[in-house]
Amino acid sequence: MKPAATPPDVSLVVPVRNEAGNIGPLIAEIRTVLDAAGLAWELLVIDDGSSDSTWEEIGIAAADPRVEGIHRGQGAGKSAALMDGFARCRAPRIVMLDGDGQDDPAEIPAMLALLADPTTGRAGADVVNGWKTPRLDPWHKTLPSRIFNLLVGWVSGLWLHDHNCGLKVFRAPAARSLELGDDMHRFITVLAAAEGHRVVEKAVHHRPRTLGRSKYGFARFFTGLIDLARIAGDIRCRRLAGAKAMRPSAQARRRRQVSMILAAVALGGLLGRIGAVTSVDKIALEKRLVADAVAKARDAEAAGGPAVDAEAIADSIERGKRLRRPFLSANDRSRWLAVRALVERGTFAIDELVVEPGWDTIDAVAHADASGRIRLYSSKPPLLSILCAAPYWILHEMTGWTLGSHPFEMARMLLVACCLLPFGLLLMASFRMIEEVGGTDWGRFWGMALISFGTLLSTFAVSLTNHLPAAVAAAWSGWWLLRIIGRGGSAGAFAAAGGLAALTAAFELPALAWCVALLGMLMLVDPRRTLAAAAPAAFLVAAVALGTNWLAHGSIFPPYAHRQVAPATATSPAAAVVPGTSSANPDNWYDYSLALSNGKQLTSYWRDPKGVDRGEPSALVYAWHALLGHHGIFSLTPAWLLVPSGLAMMIVARRRQAAPGQAHLALAIFVVSLVVTAFYLTRSQVDRNYGGVSSGFRWVFWLAPLWAVATVPVADALSRHRAGRLLALLLLGLSMVSVAYPTWNPWSPPWIEQWIDHLAGRG
């Protein structure tokens, strides 16, 4: 082979010994695959002491000037042959594969795409190791290999499925940095990692051997153990020597520090709001009531009545009215009631608790329990309440307090456990995805600031809702998807991704679309692990969620599935109220009248809902306000205007061979966003209420971490120009307005709606 004027795109090294009959077909396959991929290539076939006609076959193939045969006489082993080949390679990317025909050359272009490219700034790996799955070798070859891989992972800390796979691709510096002694080719991945090179694995097609005999078997396992023991010390020395190279760059460390600062500010601000959470608009009213009662008592005292105890009067009004409370809406009180009932009463029924002052809620349903008695229940799916009941039980056992006797103390501690900590987990997963997807420090910082301060998730983090835990599950499942596609993943990683995606759907039913999309993307990567790990984990979470519905209601379906008649139009005889009796519509759990223990009659609010809960009659008007109007996804959080372009850039990034996994993640987010938005915009009138009295279109809040990641590529592009940076900062600042406006209670109309009402003279 004569050297070409310019180096090729890729060099291939194929060490062989006694592979007559396999060489010609393999070289023909390589030629077909790489020519079709448009790659300029060279092939070095190294005959390491063959005793058959292998060398003659190599000579025939060398008629192609891109193929060079190298004859090594008696042979010195595969490691020496590889070292010889690597030293002769001229391309910036190097491929090694075996000559027995079991490695499929068709895998090479996809593996090359995972390599980093310093000339273009593309992130990626230094070494991509093949993972033969399913492996088609006999058991006496596969069993020692499995044990060997486990031992290598345990000794080195680098856990791969197939360290000794013959198909690997390298950046040329990584290949040339290797020093392979006898039989050290089995530890190429470990040695490369110890030198500070990034090693990932990719599942590859494996083919059965059709000609010749394998050089490996159970006997090689024992020599491998000796080699592993010999190299263990060397691995440690190399790892220490390469530690500096493996440490994050100064830029990466600075980004991590900034992300920690942003998280500290966001979490500190949230903790302060939790500490002050109360219905503050009722404080003045409570003070006036106390003042009026004290004044009236003093008048009575002046007329000869009993002495005034102002403190006792204030305490009586505070406890009797419960005007101030850390439970900000009927929505979150519904969940808190279920938490209380579980811990304090050992039941899901809440009718014994709603009679307490300040514990009213309209978000309730009624149906017969197992004994036939009609009871009142939270209308919210019970899974979240069960999870929050655990820390409440611990606090209750430690202090003896309840949410009824010490509402502020208990609620604030529970909000820390059930909201603050999950918000921290949300930031952690979001920051990781932003770090992977971002291309500039400015764009990454902008994305981190957006998810920390610029979404209504933080506004609602002082209230117990399903939106925050759903967002946490969505963020972490998205991170695992990105990680698995970019770096490969174990069965545990697949299970984590599938289970978390299903947990998202357990908290937000329309997020079932996210679960399906994520499992679909994992199927494209590795069908076997998806079916063996991700899908079972998802089914397990689904079974738990459905099981909690059964425990609470005797039905696997949540309460809102038991509403066959729209409450706003219910005119059935069940709607009649008979004082002192309880009645419930078995076809519509929202249609009930209940005699409470305090002698009062509780009639369902949903028989005749008021205001926004009547639903918007016009589907077009509803769509306008949900997207761009007073509850608009894009008008309240203008940063989301960047999401469509960002998703497009992430999908196109696949063609530019950017960081692996971006296109898969973006495609999943795009499809799910369309499905979820269409689901809510096409609901019947009774459901067209914008999420009730709420400072935003809260049903899509769980998508916030995924959308925040999607904005980062656009922020990267805008950061290159002053006008672009100003635009991005303006969008971020305007998004903060909607977040900060409902400072004291997220369960209030959005600022746009209040502004419109003011202009119309309605407020």
CATH code for position 104: 3.90.550.10
Higher pLDDT, 56 or 680: 680
Q: For residue 170, what pLDDT band results from cuts at 50, 70 and 90?
A: very high
Q: Report if residue 78 sits inside a domain.
A: yes
Q: What is the pLDDT of residues 547-582, one digit of tens each?
A: 999 999 999 999 999 987 544 444 444 456 778 888
Contact between residue 310 and residue 455 where contact means Cβ atoms under 8 Å apart: no
71 three-class SS = strand
The pLDDT of residue 530: 94
Q: Report if residue 43 sits inside a domain.
A: yes
The pLDDT of residue 323: 47
The pLDDT of residue 569: 43
Q: Looking at the structure, tell me whether residues 121 and 61 fall in a common domain.
A: yes
Q: How far is Cα 706 from Cα 665, in angstroms, rounded to an integer?
A: 9
Q: Report if residue 567 sits inside a domain.
A: no
Q: For residue 419, what pLDDT band results from cuts at 50, 70 and 90?
A: very high
The pLDDT of residue 52: 87
The pLDDT of residue 63: 85
Q: What is the pLDDT of residues 171-213, one digit of tens each?
A: 999 998 888 876 677 788 888 887 778 889 888 887 877 675 6
656 pLDDT above the threshold of 50: no
Contact between residue 678 and residue 611 where contact means Cβ atoms under 8 Å apart: no
The pLDDT of residue 713: 94
Q: How far is Cα 334 from Cα 177, in angstroms, rounded to an integer?
A: 63
Q: Looking at the structure, tell me whether residues 120 and 209 fall in a common domain.
A: yes
Higher pLDDT, 99 or 89: 89
Q: Looking at the structure, tell me whether residues 207 and 284 fall in a common domain.
A: no
Residue 468 one-letter amino acid: L
Q: What is the pLDDT of residues 612-652, one digit of tens each?
A: 889 999 999 999 999 999 999 999 999 999 999 999 998 88
The pLDDT of residue 391: 97
Count other Cβ atoms within 10 Å, centred on residue 208.
10
**Ranked by mean pLDDT, which of 6-10, 290-294, 392-396 comes out on top?**
392-396
Q: Report if residue 209 sits inside a domain.
A: yes
281 pLDDT above the threshold of 90: no
Q: How far is Cα 528 from Cα 532, in angstroms, rounded to an integer?
A: 6
Q: Looking at the structure, tell me whether residues 212 and 316 fall in a common domain.
A: no
Q: How far is Cα 505 from Cα 544, in angstroms, rounded to an integer?
A: 12
- Residues whose CB is less than 8 angstroms from the CB of residue 264 and which lie 6 or more positions away in sequence, other chains included: none
Contact between residue 393 and residue 636 where contact means Cβ atoms under 8 Å apart: no
The β-bridge relationship of strands 10-16 and 93-96 is parallel
Buried b (16+ CB within 10 A) or exposed e, 30-65: bbebbeeeebebbbbbbbbbbeeebbebbeebbeee
In Å, how far are 137, 159, 188, 230, 668 from 168, measured between CA atoms?
A: 19, 16, 9, 24, 30
Q: Looking at the structure, tell me whether residues 90 and 133 fall in a common domain.
A: yes
Average pLDDT of the residues in 34-58: 90
Q: Report if residue 633 sits inside a domain.
A: no
**Ranked by mean pLDDT, which of 133-142, 324-333, 360-369 comes out on top?**
360-369
Count other Cβ atoms within 10 Å, centred on residue 758.
10
Q: For residue 509, what pLDDT band results from cuts at 50, 70 and 90?
A: very high
Q: For residue 219, what pLDDT band results from cuts at 50, 70 and 90?
A: very low
Q: Looking at the structure, tell me whether residues 178 and 314 fall in a common domain.
A: no
Range of the domain at 213: 10-246
Domain count across the chain = 2
Closest CA to 354 of 366, 339, 337: 337
Closest CA to 30 of 126, 115, 96: 96
Q: Report if residue 18 sits inside a domain.
A: yes
Q: Looking at the structure, tell me whether residues 211 and 286 fall in a common domain.
A: no
The pLDDT of residue 313: 61
350 pLDDT above the threshold of 50: yes
